[in-house]
Chain A
Amino acid sequence: MRLLIVWCPDWPVIAAAAAENLLPHIPAAVARGNEITSCSAIARTEGVRRGMRKRQAQERCPELKIFEADPTRDARLFEPVAAAVEELAPGIEVIRPGLIAVAAQGPAGYFEGEENAAERLVDHVAQTTGVEAQVGIADGLFAATKAAHRGVIVARNRSAEFLAPLGIQELTEPDLVDLLRRLGIRTLGAFAQLDERKVADRFGGLAVQAHKNARGLDERPLAKRKPVEDLEVTQHFDPPVERVDQAAFAAKALAERLHAELNERAQACMRLGIHARTEHGEEVHRVWRCAEPLTPKGIADRVRWQLDGWLTNNTLTAGVHLLRLVPEEVIDAAALQLGLWGHDAGAEKAARAFVHVQGLLGPDGVLTPVLGGGRGPEDQVRLVPWGDEKTPRHDPDQPWPGRLNGPSPATVKSQPATLTDAAGQDVVVTGRNDLTGIPHRFALNGGPSLDVAAWSGPWPVDERWWDPETARRAARMQVIAGETAFLLVREDGRWAVEGVYD
């Protein structure tokens, strides 16, 4: 999917400086504990770097102002930026404070071209909030984020080429980066060239994701599972929530409820919609997108941040009296990596074994079936690699006239066959769906000819008759020959066995 990413560089520092009214010419940094986690551009020119010890940073830059890390502050001050972007590009998703994703198609269409859209967004954010932002566009979240860091637009289908020359440290997993470096792999391109199977084998599941990223593939298949319509949790507040500490308390309770609901459905949330309504009838909502399934704490944090953002930036004219959480996108919890879902010990053990086998055979070595709509026995089943998203091939909710009811064949394998009448003539299905003879002998794949003991059909298969490209005219029959029952299909003037009821 083509994504537009709006990135505000050094956001924690910008937010901290804004909160403390720090003058822009004073170098600043944010530290968690003793480690610098973010620094301003000015501080960087003085030699301050991320990952440094506080003291080391102060040695290099004595006038450095250091703030303690505060995710709530980051989120609260980011809300006006998100709102500004949303004015031009509806449907935004906040990935974290400082980073917003939106489908590129909308703004690019509206502003006639991606360059134009990017320019307009940067201008608009600067004018309304005074924050400097950069925009990047590319296919896939990982590539688009890297594009935003560089403020470039990557042409369609060129994400892999764009990523190839970038250094291996662009991957977000420090242990993996360290390991790859020691193996002499210094660019994303070099990493991308490794065989996926070997990556799975040597480095495990996290590395497979990183490898997908490095190849410019989307981190998740786009076929999203639409969440259940009625799944949402709501909370009325009487009196309305007006203060941040009240918001934190409300967020925690609501998050646990949502998590429990998802848990019951064996799902995990990847995109969270937060909706609020005030006493004055104002409605606001914001979507948070996450790279990892949200834990109860992750949900609570985002709800708290968002409420905090709305309450302190005068977006709302009154307290919040209704809060609603809607999981916008969920994934199957059973398909997740271990450790994220520690409830079902059996599923966890099974997942470990499957991943082990994927290590031996490659990701496509272990498949899980997903049943869906369709007519034929093969149509209704889709096999997806273990760990991938389980979406059926066809919509199970549509009616499928012409679908065979009753038992399905236990073996589904297409093989040529012959069906002849007593005179040894091929039994043909006419245009009016009649047989030209009484089935007498049957042979499978050139094998011995068997007496037909019973038969039924033909039942017409008229698939996609409205589309000449994929239209399929065929007829099915059930035949018992030599004590075995077969499912036959007549297509293009030939009989074939579609399945065996063995």
Chain B
Amino acid sequence: MSRSATATLVALGVNPASELTETTADHATGRVLPVRGELADLLPWGGLRRGSTVSVGGSTSLLLALLAGATATGCWAAVVGLPHIGVLAAAELGVAVHRLALVPRPGGDPAAVVAALLDGIDLVAVEATRSLSPSLARRLSARARQRKAVLLAFGAWPGADVELQVVGSRWEGLGRGHGKLRDQALTVRASGRGAAARPRTVELDLVGGGRIEFLHSKGELAWVP
């Protein structure tokens, strides 16, 4: 294989030597949870690989958007900490909120709560606080790996497989005295281990404000992009 071809493959995030490599089989066997289309580029696996830890910094919207694809396809998610997340915004970003549970105040031992959730929930988002020491954080990541769950950390997390840091955000639609917020453009710096080792900066438009429709039969909501 020529050098340039290898380089192209690496640039595409394909690295056969790494455990983080995305394979079609991973998707087919449900080892990678789906994410919304525009977020697939951020992640080396094109989705959230079960057992991995992904840290998100700088944007609550990005965290909520990462929950959307998986919950919409039947996975369950929980958010630990983050007592002020906008559930409405989550629903507009496509999160199936009837499969979302919030643990806004995890008490004195948040690690026990997160560990309990990792046992049964596909996707656990955790606010990184001081009460979660680096060693506890590593243990929780190991637990996620063992339980085939995805740990989404909001804030710095030692041992994250992928770090997504929002370095710029721009809102479209609002002028000086007119208009309304419409679309959000995020600049995200993705770095990490394995296939994600090479830091990349990705620009993406987060299209929120999806129409929410009430499904009468279930009293639940559907997201209409």
Contact = CB atoms under 8 A, between A and B. Distances in A.
Interface of A: 225, 228, 231, 265-267, 332, 334, 346-347, 349-354, 356-357, 360-361, 365-371, 377, 380-381, 383, 386, 390, 392, 396-397, 405-413, 438, 454-456, 478, 480, 483-485, 499-502
B9 interface: no
- Closest 8 pairs between A and B when the two form their complex, measured CB to CB: A353-B120, A350-B76, A410-B60, A407-B208, A413-B84, A407-B209, A349-B120, A408-B88
B181 interface: yes
A262 to B, nearest CB: 10
A454 B112 CA distance: 44
| A369, A396, A480 — most chain B CB neighbours (10 Å) | A369
B113 interface: yes
A406 B119 CA distance: 36
A343 to B, nearest CB: 12
Contacts of B217: 228, 231, 265
A346 B209 contact: no
B174 A406 contact: no
Contacts of B86: 377, 408-412, 499
B119 A353 contact: yes
9 contacts: A346-B74, A347-B99, A349-B121, A354-B117, A357-B113, A361-B103, A366-B103, A367-B103, A410-B60
A186 to B, nearest CB: 32
A354 B101 contact: yes
B64 A367 contact: no
Interface of B is mostly: mixed
B43 to A, nearest CB: 20
Contacts of B179: 454, 456
A267 B175 CA distance: 47
A396 B214 contact: yes
Contacts of B182: 406-407
Given A353-B116, A361-B103, A405-B209, A485 B88 contact: no
A377 B208 CA distance: 14
Given A351-B120, A360-B107, A381-B87, 11 more contacts: A225-B219, A228-B217, A349-B76, A354-B78, A360-B116, A406-B209, A410-B60, A410-B64, A478-B181, A483-B169, A502-B61
B102 A368 contact: yes
Contacts of A412: 84-88
Interface of B: 59-61, 64, 74-76, 78, 84-92, 97-107, 109, 112-113, 116-117, 119-122, 168-171, 173-182, 184, 208-209, 212, 214, 216-219, 221
Contacts of A406: 173, 180-182, 209
Contacts of A438: 177
B113 A502 contact: no
Contacts, number: 176
Contact of A408 (B92, B122, B218): B92
A228 B87 contact: no
Contacts of B180: 405-406, 456, 478
B89 A367 contact: no
A410 B74 CA distance: 23
A408 B209 contact: yes
B1 to A, nearest CB: 41
A356 B181 CA distance: 41
A382 to B, nearest CB: 9
A369 B174 contact: no
A113 B60 CA distance: 58
A328 B37 CA distance: 42
Given A356-B119, A408-B88, A410-B60, A266 B218 contact: yes
B177 A350 contact: no
B91 A371 contact: yes
A455 B104 contact: no
A369 B208 contact: no
Contacts of A347: 76, 99
Contacts of A383: 87, 102
Contacts of B221: 371
Contacts of A502: 59-61, 169
A371 B60 contact: no
Nearest to A266: B218
Nearest to A330: B219
B98 A368 contact: yes
B105 A361 contact: yes
| A367, A408, A500 — most chain B CB neighbours (10 Å) | A408
Contact of B88 (A361, A366, A377): A377
A396 B105 CA distance: 28
A376 to B, nearest CB: 9
Contacts of A225: 219
A222 B91 CA distance: 27
A409 B216 CA distance: 26
B155 to A, nearest CB: 13
Given A225-B219, A410-B61, A455 B92 contact: no
A334 B100 CA distance: 12
Contacts of B59: 410, 502
Contacts of B76: 346-347, 349-350
B115 to A, nearest CB: 10
A265 B218 CA distance: 6
A397 B216 CA distance: 10
A381 B102 CA distance: 13
A393 B140 CA distance: 36
Given A228-B216, A438-B177, A357 B116 contact: yes
B174 A407 contact: no
B154 to A, nearest CB: 11
Contacts of B168: 483
A407 B181 contact: yes
Nearest to B84: A413
B107 A410 contact: no
B108 to A, nearest CB: 10
B98 A456 contact: no
B107 A353 contact: no
